[in-house]
Amino acid sequence: MTTNLPAAGALDIVIFGGAGDLSFRKLLPALYMAHLHKRLAADARIIAIGRQSWTRDEYLAFIDSHSPAFIETSAFSASDWQNFLARLIYISMDVTQGGDYAKLKTLCCQPAVRVFYLATAPSLFTQICAKLSGAGLVDAQARVVLEKPLGTDLASARAINTEVARYFDEQQIYRIDHYLGKETVQNLMVLRFGNAIFEPLWRAPHIKSVQITVAETVGVGKRAGFYDGAGALRDMVQNHLLQLLCIVAMEPPISLDADDVRDEKLKVLRSLQKMDLAAIKRDTVRGQYSAGASEGAAVKGYLEEDNVPADSRTETFVALRARINNARWANVPFFLRTGKRLQQRQSEIIIEFADQPFSIFGTEAKHQPNRLIIRLQPEESIQLEMMVKEPGSGMTLHPVKLGLDLQSSSDKRRAEAYERLLMDVIKGRLTHFMRRDELEAAWLWIEPILAGWQALDDKPRNYSAGSWGPAASSALMAREDLSWFEEA
Ligand code: BG6
């Protein structure tokens, strides 16, 4: 390990929360990959800021023992890793003390692009921005990256946005939602707007329903301190699932410029029908996992997890039916579902097309609507389910999948979401980040649901770890003669 400080160059990436989970699991491995593939300028530095009173060597030793586990083995090379570590600087500081920013100022003395990545508790965002500005570190070249959760409701999100806007222009603010950095999510735009065959069919009445599922097998782990106050609606639906819904539902933007794309996403969020109490009761399902089995091992229930209050009513599962009030999507139900400790790790979007209006194959024929299955993870694929004839005499129909295996369709490396988004920040590309009005529109739709659950004194329904969630989630679909993809 080297103890020489790297000299200042054209880019400084300053990570607040530099020793936190997000840094060593995601950000530093992503920056290592960018370094390995020569996507980081040779003189770019990474300045990690943390509370621990470590020396630089102690910080490097910490990263050296924690981050490699989160780097693909085939991409890890000891010499490249050492060269990467040589870019790192550590500053121990109390981010609430204005005086401590002088240390940072001394280091970032010459004009460079400065990226301030706030991987801290959101309660610190506004003070950090104010103090950076007070120390003269915010100039026209500076960018700030804000990690989620951005607020816990509309008022707190607005307060953060208003404060941050005092020091950074909107064009300098990167509100990150790592789902927007996933390859398949970006591919969805190409699928929709780069293939002429879909556009005429991408609407009511040709589409009968849309399902968006983000299912996880992990439990709350060590994050109960944050998660118990948030729950699945705030943690996943307000951001990741609504962003996926926007990309599925938006009108073609006039260009790929950030504001053109974000204008269209905003319109979708504004078209979401607000739910009143009756709709909340009818169209939402909250669940909480109890003990069960996950991937072959016995696991605890949510209430037995570390730091979860014994009477917690926090939801670890949500399913809901959303309505989009515009001409393209009139009467097309959008079903969103996410949960922890579900049967499989699976994120997918299912577009179910309308039924055949008339079947010449008789009423006995098992006619199934065509479905487009867009799988985000664990593997990335796009499949179109078509009806074909079963070989042999007679005209028996059966579904077959026409598939695009995205992994093997190109030899090109597929960067992880964080690497891709960090490179966008460095290049000043805002398309895959949320604009202020988008974030606030998402809260405006979510907030009445949170309030409605409270007003209805809604207790989460129990589901066993390793299942697909509470039975009421299947019933939500069955009511409209539909079913979740894996239950069909
Ligand atoms: C995060 C949530 O934003 O996304 C976590 O806070 C969740 O609770 C994670 O586990 C899921 O991300 P991914 O990329 O693993 O699907």
Q: Tell me the CA distances in angstroms from 110 to 104, 296, 308, one per residue in order.
A: 12, 55, 47
Residue with CA nearest ligand 1 atom 6: 235
How far is residue 403's CA from residue 301's CA, in Å, rounded to a whole number? 38
Task: Give residue 281's pLDDT.
Answer: 97
CA 473, 478, 483, 488 dihedral sign is positive
CATH 3.30.360.10 for domain 180-487: yes
Strand 346-353 versus strand 334-339 pairing type: unpaired
**What spacing in Å lies between the alpha carbon of 133 and ligand 1's midpoint?**
31
235 lines ligand 1 (CB under 6 A): yes
- Do 11-147 and 180-487 show the same overall fold? no
Task: Give residue 380's pLDDT.
Answer: 87
How far is residue 262's CA from residue 256's CA, in Å, rounded to a whole number? 9
216 lines ligand 1 (CB under 6 A): yes
380 lines ligand 1 (CB under 6 A): no
Q: Tell me the CA distances in angstroms from 6 to 44, 324, 327, 328, 468, one per residue in order.
A: 9, 52, 57, 54, 50
Domain ranges of the chain: 11-147, 180-487
Atom of ligand 1 nearest to the CA of 347: 16
Which structure tokens are listed for 320? Answer: 């809901």
Sort 23 into a burial class: Cβ within 10 Å, 0-12 / 13-18 / 19+.
Answer: buried
Give, as one character, the DSSP assignment of residue 182. S
Atom of ligand 1 nearest to the CA of 345: 16
Task: Give residue 3's pLDDT.
Answer: 56
3-class DSSP state of 234:
helix
Q: Which residues pair with 400 in a beta bridge?
A: 386
Taking the chain (488 residues) in runs of 10, the rounded mean pLDDT of each run is 72 96 96 97 95 96 97 96 97 90 86 92 93 94 93 94 97 96 91 93 97 97 92 97 98 96 98 97 98 94 96 98 97 98 96 90 80 92 92 88 85 92 96 96 97 95 97 96 89
Task: Give residue 132's pLDDT.
Answer: 96
What is the side-by-side strand order in the sheet with 381-389? Answer: 397-405, 381-389, 371-377, 346-353, 207-215, 334-339, 317-322, 284-290, 461-464
How far is residue 381's CA from residue 374's CA, in Å, rounded to a whole number? 6
Catalogue the E-assigned strands of 62-163. Answer: 88-92, 113-118, 143-146
Task: Give residue 5's pLDDT.
Answer: 81
**What spacing in Å lies between the alpha carbon of 52 and ligand 1's midpoint?**
26
Atom of ligand 1 nearest to the CA of 227: 8
**What spacing in Å lies between the alpha carbon of 392 and ligand 1's midpoint?**
47
Helices 125-134 and 154-165 meet at what angle, rounded to 10? 10
Ligand 1 mutation pick, 212, 218, 235, max ligand atoms within 8 A of CB = 235
Residue with CA nearest ligand 1 atom 2: 235
Residue 105 φ/ψ, nearest 5 degrees: -60, -40
CA 261, 151, 461, 278 dihedral sign is negative
177 lines ligand 1 (CB under 6 A): no
Q: Which residues are catalytic?
A: 240
Which structure tokens are listed for 54? Answer: 């470590």
Sort 366 into a burial class: Cβ within 10 Å, 0-12 / 13-18 / 19+.
Answer: exposed
422 contacts 116 by C-beta, under 8 angstroms: no
**What spacing in Å lies between the alpha carbon of 68 and ligand 1's midpoint?**
20
Atom of ligand 1 nearest to the CA of 218: 10
Q: Which CATH superfamily is domain 11-147 in?
A: NAD(P)-binding Rossmann-like Domain (3.40.50.720)
Task: Give residue 356's pLDDT.
Answer: 87
Q: Which residues pair with 468 in a beta bridge?
A: none
**What spacing in Å lies between the alpha carbon of 470 and ligand 1's midpoint?**
21
Residue with CA nearest ligand 1 atom 9: 236
